[in-house]
Amino acid sequence: MIFRRWESVLLKYIEGRKYMGIRKNNQTSYSHTYIENNIVQFFGRIIYAIKNRRRRLILKALAESESMNIREIKKCLQEKDFVKKISITKIRNRYLNPWLEVRVLQEKEKGLYKITTFGKNINKAISGIKEIDLLPMPIRQKLYPEFVLLVLRDGRKTYKELKLTLNLSDSYKVIHKIIKRLENTNFVEICHPHNLLRVPYLFHFTLSFYYYFIEIIKNYIEKTGRSWFTEYSVVRLLNQKWLSIFDRTMDLDEARNLLEKGIEMGGIIKTNGSYEISIRDFIAPTRDLTSSEKKILDLIKDGYSQCSTITAKSGFYRTSVNKILKRLEKRNLVKKDVEYVIVELTEKGKRLADSLFKIKEYVAQEVGLGV
């Protein structure tokens, strides 16, 4: 698995190159990762081209007539899109070149355009799918809404599953924004099967990543006596523990977020690219706990996550438990789990997801890697 920073560097590198037409007969000369990233990049260009209505009109017209010269294309736009004045230069630069770059169209002679087999497949995939107009334009090839739809095509997912699939950071803000946009366009619906009315005593709480971060660093300092770290050493240490706790590696952005949170809480000082840890201040969130807070925290450690269960096991009043959980959440020791939030496609979303899946299949075949 490539760290996201290297992935972004690779995508930027690919973005600066024109698609070179990787074929099956020379596929072995490219790494699997390179081809996969090429598919993502190529898919992004296709989606960008598709989202323009006039480009789709041109594609449909060429699919029906096989080939057209640029004046015929201009006439087609004037008739079907009620365009009064439009220059040939604008048609070529804005509407034809994006299709040429992704091999959907070919310029046979000067001013004569023909649809390719790949172009026919793309036209077939988007034919009759009006929902494409509602998708946001891709920014820097970040096709998160499209990939969310593709992931949900396999079945309903939780926020956590979507976040991990898209390799997003620890924060749920990004995935929440994506889902909200898709919900506003009626592509997805959000279900709260365990807490439909969002009743406080049905909320689930789990230990936060910051709690594990404190425990890991504290144990390491007690064992080695070392109180300063480089970013690399922190990531390496957390990676080892993350694999045993969460069965996955630590994301670089996650490590940076935890370090920033430590600086914000006053336990970590950043100096010349390294981090110095004041153990007393660093462990203050877990050290300065009341007996009732410790009891609630221990119950969460033992796997009692629902607020009502914690209340029953602790013997405290519900209002007291709510206050304690809020204090623990403020200390970044626990987090309110949104695992119960389930996202699934609507009928409208399913149609669009099926169309996107077909496009992705055709792109993979064109690039040279079968799906």
Q: Which of 29-33, 317-321, 328-332 has the lowest mean pLDDT?
A: 29-33
Q: What is the pLDDT of residue 299?
A: 94
Mean pLDDT of 315-335: 92
Q: Which of 163-172, 298-307, 327-336 has the lowest mean pLDDT?
A: 163-172
Q: What is the pLDDT of residues 113-124, one digit of tens each?
A: 999 999 999 999
Q: What is the pLDDT of residues 208-238, one digit of tens each?
A: 999 999 999 999 898 888 888 888 888 888 8
Mean pLDDT of 126-145: 73
Mean pLDDT of the chain: 81
Please tell me which residue, 3 or 209, carries the higher pLDDT value. 209
CATH topology of domain 52-134: Sec63 N-terminal domain-like fold (1.10.3380)
Judge whether residue 4 has pLDDT over 50.
no
Mean pLDDT of 101-123: 90
Mean pLDDT of 275-292: 90
Which residue ranges does the chain devote to CATH 1.10.3380.30?
52-134
Mean pLDDT of 82-108: 89
Distance CA 125, CA 116 (A): 14
Tell the residue number behind the tokens 């209505």, with chain if given.
53
Q: What is the pLDDT of residues 182-207, one digit of tens each?
A: 988 899 998 766 655 566 666 888 89
